[in-house]
Amino acid sequence: MEDMLFYDRLQFAFTITFHYIFPQLTMGLSLLIVFFKGKYLRNNIEKYNDAAKFFMKIFAINFTMGVVTGIPMEFQFGTNWAKFSELTGSVIGQTLAMEGMFSFFLESSFLALFIFGEKLMGQKLHFLTGFLVFLGSWASGWFILATNAWMQHPVGYEILDNGKFVLENFSALFSNPWLIPAFLHNQLASVVTSSFVVASIGAFYVLRNKQTEYGKLFLKTGVIFGLVSSLLVAFPTGDWNAKNVAKYQPASFAAMEGIFETEVAGAEIVLIGQPNMVEKKLDNKIAVPNILSFLTYQEWDRQIPGMDHFKKEELPDNIPALYYSYHIMVGLGTIFIGVMFLSAFFLWRKKLYNIKPLLWTIMFLVPFPYIANLTGWYTAELGRQPYLVYGLLRTADGISPTVSSGNTLFTLLGFVALYMLLGLLFLVLVGKTINEGPKPQTH
């Protein structure tokens, strides 16, 4: 049974990690496409329209890959996680069905119209199709996160005698106090990823001294959006999410902050440290006293329960992975703010385009927002363990007893091989699109 659980979790972790490479770009990029198209309508400057159509090509490649890699995840609900689906399907089926019926069809239908229908529809309707693609992609995030929020903090449910969850209050799914902070944090984090992608393409063009007009436009847009979104990811949305974890999942909060022992008066915030699970402490710790209590409760001496306050079975089952995921996310987010603030400063001074070390930094930083987004998701999911539905349904009780560990491992190896090919295809297609660059409108 332990092998089955391990391989089921490993397979889902791999497939969802690879899948989320793509939606985190499409959600943020859709906003930037609307911005470029709106600027074209307002100013009638052709390069903005060229930029919108160029990034919609990249959006379309990402969207296609997201669909292809998302389908196997849904199959896993019926194969590896059939018991979970059986017990909770009447709740999570609501939001997942709405995501498929409303968001996916809205996004896919108007994506095709945006790509192929500009001359037929005219510019205002073309802008509208771009806006509806944006609306569909963000609605998709809303419904998926409504599902996840219910798993993190279940509301509006009743458990029948047979163990099945039924929904008593439909509106509770969308008024869940976990949902709005998680949604805003996630969407703004996707804008960070997209901003770095746009800025890095711009830096590439400027450094190559080719397509420099577009390169400067992409750099300016990416830096401004990147600075604003990076700040908003940290505060208020990141702060709001952390306070939710402290309130609703205190054992997870203690684990992700590395609090092994409850402090009598005020909890320190750890900047650097390595969890020592044998001696129940952080090795090589660098910490600032009382700051965590103030950030969490605005009280310097407020006590925060440590892991010693909880029973072993209440604690996350992989504390080091949770701790490192959280601190990697926070550390990278801090770096993003610093780089984007410095870039914005030199942009304001009209020197950014000539500072090659900073342009190289922007270009090579592009993988790291992806890493920050993924470790953010790891923080949320590892923190919820050992539960699928927090406090109510343990992960071990949600797997399919009829699917052997050997079957799961075999299909996992198949996914690894297939996704490597898909990843290479994705890089080739996006690389070719970037190399070609935006194509000016011919009249």
DSSP readout, 130-187? HHHHHHHHHHHHHHHHHHHHHHHS--SEEE-TTS-EEES-GGGGTS-TTHHHHHHHHH
Looking at the DSSP bridge assignments, the partners of residue 167 are 157
In angstroms, what is the C-alpha Rg of the chain?
A: 23
pLDDT of residue 247: 96
Report H helices in 281-404: 291-297, 319-348, 356-364, 367-384
Burial annotation 410-440 (CB, 10 A radius, 16+ → b, else e): ebbeebeeebeebeeebeebbeebbeebbee
The ranges assigned to domains in the chain are 177-403
Identify the residue whose tokens are 């020197």. 351
Identify the residue whose tokens are 């163990």. 163
To the nearest 5 percent, what fractions of the chain are helix, strand and coil? 75, 5, 20
Measured in degrees and rounded to the nearest 5, phi and psi for residue 157 equal -120, 165
Longest CA pairwise span in the chain (Å): 73
Give pTM, 2 decimals. 0.96
pLDDT of residue 1: 59
Amino acid identity of 73?
A: M
The neighbour count for residue 89, using CB atoms within 10 Å, is 17
User: pLDDT per position in the chain (443 positions), as tens?
Assistant: 578 899 999 999 999 999 999 999 999 999 999 999 999 999 999 999 999 999 999 999 999 999 999 988 888 888 899 999 999 999 999 999 999 888 888 888 899 999 998 888 999 999 999 999 999 999 999 999 999 999 999 999 999 999 999 999 999 999 999 999 999 999 999 999 999 999 999 999 999 999 999 999 999 999 999 999 999 999 999 999 999 999 999 999 999 999 999 987 889 999 999 999 999 999 999 999 999 999 999 999 999 999 999 999 999 999 999 999 999 999 999 999 999 999 999 999 999 999 999 999 999 999 999 999 999 999 999 999 999 999 999 999 999 988 888 999 999 999 999 999 999 999 999 999 999 999 886 54
Please give the distance of CA 69 from its chain centroid, rounded to a whole number.
16
Angle at 339 between CA 347 and CA 360, to 5 degrees: 80
